[in-house]
């Protein structure tokens, strides 16, 4: 039996530990890991976007710069360079060489020695061409078929930009790098000789070098440039092979796809000047590499903590189960009425202290029960003595009935009515079998009392009743209104010879409670007098009335609780209002 209970307690402990500690902690750790993973992924992607923003900024600046250079080259000194270029389109080799030298000198002067300019080429309408700096290796047919060339032809005097992912001259400076070409087709207002078809300026872009530098950072992935149609403009690490089939990656700011069973993240940023897309591809596992290490550390720490707690729990349970079980068994014996229980202290110091407290409690409880039995005996004896000292109520009632009969026979109706009123009051007082009766019955007793008091005080006061019909059947403690009304008559109206005293008794229901209000226009009371009257203190002559009010308050509190005690309001020289609020109970029909 003991082993079974111990196992149940241990199982209950572990179930509670699992439900209240392990599962919430695991949920918190899982949510934290997901939040950390999202934050680290966002941080990694943010770094990629920062690199792309740098690439976009560099590329946009270069496109604007090469466009301005070409415009300056074409329009400088009243189109002098265009006139010299047109003169190089001749079959006279001497003149051609002479004007080419002049053109080269003008080119060097206009451009200033800038290292990133690869070549400047004038394409003539008859198929001839004149170039400066490095020798071009692109044929006229290859050049004229390019998009940028056709766009420039369609919009004369407007600079168009193109890109090459290879060398465009015989020089090795532009090999394996990004080359920008700015082209302008001069109109008749610029080339009055109508000889030059196209002016092209080829520049080695530092954007390609920047992309290569970023590609060295694995966390930034592999970056490439694409046009708006998804054509590859520049790549350095065969990034195109990581593009998923039939998916227009360049149209989405961010996406994820699986290639050969491996997840990749694609981040795209558009360069607004050229319209090119900067596309970065990075393996998802690369982005989560740092996260995986962090998550692994968190999981290991969690496992170690739970393992330590398990060993601690096992040790802890072994040292508390038996002492607690012994205490529980002792409490069950006390519950069964056995106060001779004594538990041997065992276990930890706190548990031994609890056992000592339990033993002291049982001894004290036994002592208190013995004392209570003695007090009950004394109380019983006091009640017997009080009963013996009381006048037989039946004798009083019978005597008053005889007086009423003689008064009626002798035609003394006033005395008969007084005897009848007193009989009602005494009958209510001596009714020991019922502590409650209806409000209607209570009001009948109050009427008898009012009749006697009006005779005593020569009709010096008047009373009004505002009683709701639905309150007559409500049960109230007997004789709770008479002491309050008596206090109004005896204390409230004493010394008041100029004004007729008025008493208003109201009763109504509200929110499940019966409300009784007794209000008079007497001389009122101070806060100190209210406190003393509720405590049953002396108020002057006829002190039994204040004792009666204290008695009413005590009975209300005992029957209904502290919230249902008397509430007294008074203003000196004006009024006194007594309020009673009790739960509604009705007499069974």
Per-residue pLDDT band for 411 (boundaries 50, 70, 90) equals: low
For the chain, give the percent of residues with pLDDT over 70. Answer: 83
For the chain, give the percent of residues with pLDDT over 90. Answer: 10
Question: Is 60 exceeded by the pLDDT of residue 544?
Answer: no
Q: Which residues have CB under 8 Å from 562's CB, separation 6+?
A: none
Question: Is 60 exceeded by the pLDDT of residue 389?
Answer: no
> Which has the closest alpha carbon to 423: 440, 389, 390, 447?
447
Phi and psi based region of residue 584 (left: phi greater than 0; alpha: psi -120 to 50; beta: remaining): beta
> Which has the closest alpha carbon to 278: 331, 222, 328?
222
Question: Is 50 exceeded by the pLDDT of residue 432?
Answer: no
Taking CA atoms, 160 is separated from 6, 168, 184, 270, 323, in Å, by 88, 17, 6, 18, 92
> Which has the closest alpha carbon to 180: 270, 240, 120?
120
Q: Tell me: the pLDDT tens digits for 511-536?
A: 899 999 999 998 888 888 888 888 76
* DSSP calls for 232-301: EEEESS-GGGGSPTT--GGG-SEEEEEETTEEEEEEEEE-TTT--EEEEEEEHHHHTHHHHHHHHHHHHH
**155-159, 168-172, 344-348: which has the highest mean pLDDT?**
155-159
> Which has the closest alpha carbon to 323: 299, 341, 344, 342?
344
d(CA 313, CA 409): 94
Question: Is 70 exceeded by the pLDDT of residue 390?
Answer: no
Q: Phi and psi for 327 in degrees, rounded to 5?
A: -65, -45
Q: What's the average model confidence in pLDDT over 365-371?
A: 82
Lowest-confidence pick of 212-221, 296-305, 391-400, 487-496: 391-400
Taking CA atoms, 352 is separated from 324, 347, 349, 548, in Å, by 10, 6, 5, 53
- Residue 191 buriedness (CB in 10 A; 0-12 / 13-18 / 19+): buried
Question: Is 80 exceeded by the pLDDT of residue 122?
Answer: yes
DSSP strand pairing (254-259 vs 461-467): unpaired
What's the pLDDT score for residue 477? Answer: 87
Token digits of residue 488: 């109004």
Q: What is the CATH number of domain 2-208?
A: 3.30.450
Q: Tell me: the pLDDT tens digits for 448-470?
A: 888 878 877 777 889 999 999 99
Better pLDDT: 50 or 166? 50
Decide: pTM greater than 0.85: no
Better pLDDT: 138 or 58? 58
End-to-end CA distance of the chain: 55
* DSSP calls for 487-531: HIIIIISTT--SS-EEEEEEEEEETTEEEEEEEE-S----HHHHH
**47-56, 129-138, 209-218, 287-296: which has the highest mean pLDDT?**
47-56
Q: What is the CATH number of domain 435-583?
A: 3.30.565.10
Q: Is 353 in a helix, a strand, or coil?
A: helix
- Residue 446 buriedness (CB in 10 A; 0-12 / 13-18 / 19+): buried
Per-residue pLDDT band for 113 (boundaries 50, 70, 90) equals: low
d(CA 532, CA 526): 10
What's the pLDDT score for residue 385? Answer: 45
Question: Is 90 exceeded by the pLDDT of residue 208?
Answer: no
What's the pLDDT score for residue 517? Answer: 94
Mean pLDDT of the chain: 80
Per-residue pLDDT band for 382 (boundaries 50, 70, 90) equals: very low
What's the pLDDT score for residue 365? Answer: 81
Q: Within the chain, which residue ranges are assigned CATH 3.30.565.10?
A: 435-583
Question: Is 90 exceeded by the pLDDT of residue 140?
Answer: no
Better pLDDT: 388 or 265? 265
Q: Tell me: the pLDDT tens digits for 457-511?
A: 777 889 999 999 999 999 998 888 988 988 888 888 877 767 788 999 999 999 8
d(CA 191, CA 122): 12
What's the pLDDT score for residue 1? Answer: 46
Q: Which residue stretches of 410-438 are H helix?
A: 413-429
What's the pLDDT score for residue 2? Answer: 45
Q: Within the chain, which residue ranges are assigned CATH 3.30.450?
A: 2-208
């Amino acid at each position: 039996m003991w082993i079974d209970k111990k196992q149940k307690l241990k199982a209950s402990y572990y179930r509670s530990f699992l439900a209240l500690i392990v599962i919430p902690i695991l949920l918190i750790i899982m949510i934290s890991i997901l939040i950390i993973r999202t934050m680290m992924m966002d941080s990694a992607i943010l770094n990629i976007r920062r690199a792309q923003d740098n690439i976009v900024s560099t590329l946009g600046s270069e496109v604007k710069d090469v466009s301005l250079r070409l415009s300056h080259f074409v329009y400088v000194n009243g189109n002098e360079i265009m006139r010299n270029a047109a003169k190089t389109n001749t079959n006279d080799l001497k003149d051609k060489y002479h004007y080419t030298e002049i053109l080269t000198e003008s080119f060097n002067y206009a451009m200033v020695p800038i290292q990133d300019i690869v070549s400047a080429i004038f394409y003539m309408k008859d198929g001839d061409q004149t170039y400066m700096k490095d020798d071009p290796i692109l044929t006229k047919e290859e050049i004229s078929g390019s998009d940028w060339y056709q766009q420039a032809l369609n919009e004369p005097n407007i600079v168009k930009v193109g890109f090459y992912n290879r060398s465009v001259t015989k020089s090795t400076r532009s090999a394996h790098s990004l080359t920008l070409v700015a082209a302008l087709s001069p109109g008749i207002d610029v080339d009055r000789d109508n000889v030059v078809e196209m002016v092209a300026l080829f520049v080695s872009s530092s954007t390609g070098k920047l992309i290569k530098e970023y590609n060295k950072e694995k966390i930034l992935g592999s970056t490439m440039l694409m046009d708006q149609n998804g054509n590859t403009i520049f790549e350095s690490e065969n990034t195109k092979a990581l593009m998923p089939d039939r998916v227009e990656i360049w149209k989405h700011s961010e996406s994820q796809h699986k290639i050969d069973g491996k997840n990749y993240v694609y981040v795209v940023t558009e360069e607004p000047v050229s319209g090119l897309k900067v596309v970065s591809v990075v393996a998802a596992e690369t982005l989560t590499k740092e996260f995986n290490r962090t998550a692994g550390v968190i999981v290991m720490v969690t496992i170690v903590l739970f393992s330590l707690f398990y060993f601690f729990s096992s040790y802890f349970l072994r040292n508390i189960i038996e002492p607690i079980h012994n205490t529980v068994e002792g409490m069950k014996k006390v519950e069964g009425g056995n106060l001779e229980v004594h538990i041997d202290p065992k276990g930890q110091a706190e548990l031994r202290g609890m056992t000592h407290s339990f033993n002291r409690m049982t001894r004290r409880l036994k002592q208190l029960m013995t004392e209570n039995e003695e007090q009950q005996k004394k109380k019983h004896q006091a009640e017997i003595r009080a009963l013996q000292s009381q006048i037989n109520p039946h004798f009083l009632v019978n005597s008053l009935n005889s007086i009423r009969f003689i008064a009626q026979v002798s035609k003394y109706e006033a005395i008969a009515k007084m005897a009848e009123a007193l009989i009602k009051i005494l009958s209510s007082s001596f009714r020991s079998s019922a502590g409650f009766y209806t409000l209607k019955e209570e009001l009948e007793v109050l009427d008898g009392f009012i009749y006697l008091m009006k005779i005593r005080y020569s009709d010096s006061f008047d009373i009004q009743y505002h009683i709701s019909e639905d309150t007559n059947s409500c049960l109230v403690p007997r004789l709770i209104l008479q002491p309050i009304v008596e206090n109004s008559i005896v204390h409230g109206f004493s010394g008041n010879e100029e004004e007729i005293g008025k008493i208003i008794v109201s009763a109504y229901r509200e929110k499940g409670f019966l409300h009784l209000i007794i209000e008079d226009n007497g001389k009122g009371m101070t806060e100190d007098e209210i406190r003393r009257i509720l405590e049953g203190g002396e108020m002057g002559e006829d002190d039994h009335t204040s004792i009666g009010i204290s008695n009413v308050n005590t009975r209300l509190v005992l029957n209904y609780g502290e919230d249902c005690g008397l509430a007294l309001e008074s203003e000196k020289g004006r009024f006194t209002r007594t309020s009673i609020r009790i739960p509604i109970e009705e007499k069974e029909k």
